[in-house]
Amino acid sequence: MSSFPCNTFTGGYGEGGYGEGGYGGSGGPAAYYLSLLTSEYQNSTNFLNWLGFVLQIVSDLQQLFCSMDAAFDLDNAIGVQLDVLGQLIGVNRVLGFQPSGGVSPVLDDSTYRLLLKAKILQNQWNGQASSLYQVWGYLFPGGSIIIQDNQNMTATIFLTGAFNSIIQDMIVNDYIVPRPETVQYTFILSTLPVFGFDRNDAYVAGFDTGHFA
């Protein structure tokens, strides 16, 4: 049985009927099925045009299916596409609390995408503190996380990364960092670049640029 990878279909039908630039020259399912017609029908222009329009449905469906993978890729999805992914993942675009500074609880695409990724990572987390370093590095490239186990069912989490106010609010409200049941987190956040010497880049910088907290 023949199959039609997405890259075999290059577009809709042309204006000139069957043949080059027409129904037979588009590639994909329509051109394939038209090519199966016996020679006695190859010059039947009306029949070929009629069949080409019918097969347009097949080609349109193929285009739709081929576009869905890219459209609902988490890194590429936007707007309602992200909303659909949120329904599948179990995360609403509207936060369950009022962010500080009067910021809207309805997340923009960029922040919502980060939250969806965080939820996926939370669902896959193995519960070990050591694996949080990889989670944090994925969500905030260049950022860092230091976990201090206080040995009393609490932990102090030191974080650096590119945080705006709403991301900070999501962190302290347990939306981002996976947390074991009954363990209480205390977060200490620092915005990149952190203050330091001997470096001057996006992660560590000196006076007038680096952040103490």
Residue-wise pLDDT tens digits, 86-139: 999 999 999 999 999 999 999 999 999 999 999 999 999 988 888 888 899 899
**94 shares a domain with 35:** no
For the chain, the average pLDDT equals: 80
Of 70, 99, 122, at which residue does a domain stop?
A: 70
Q: What pLDDT sits at residue 22?
A: 44
Higher pLDDT, 162 or 100: 100
**137 shares a domain with 109:** yes
Tens of pLDDT, residues 11-54: 433 333 444 434 444 456 677 778 888 888 888 888 888 888 88
Q: Which two tokens stand for residue 173?
A: 């409200």
Of 52, 70, 88, at which residue does a domain stop?
A: 70
- 95 found inside a domain: yes
CA count, 13 A, side-chain hemisphere, 72: 13
**How would residue 205 be classed by pLDDT, with cut points 50, 70 and 90?**
low
Q: Count up the domains in the chain and report the number.
A: 2
Give the end-to-end CA distance of the chain in Å, rounded to a whole number: 62
Q: What pLDDT sits at residue 52?
A: 84
**139 shares a domain with 62:** no
**How would residue 55 be classed by pLDDT, with cut points 50, 70 and 90?**
confident
**How would residue 192 be classed by pLDDT, with cut points 50, 70 and 90?**
low
Contact in structure between 21 and 32 (CB atoms under 8 Å): no
pLDDT at position 2 over 50: no
CA distance 187 to 152: 16
CA distance 17 to 46: 9
Of 18-32, 65-79, 154-168, give the lowest mean pLDDT range. 18-32
pLDDT at position 78 over 80: yes
- 211 found inside a domain: no
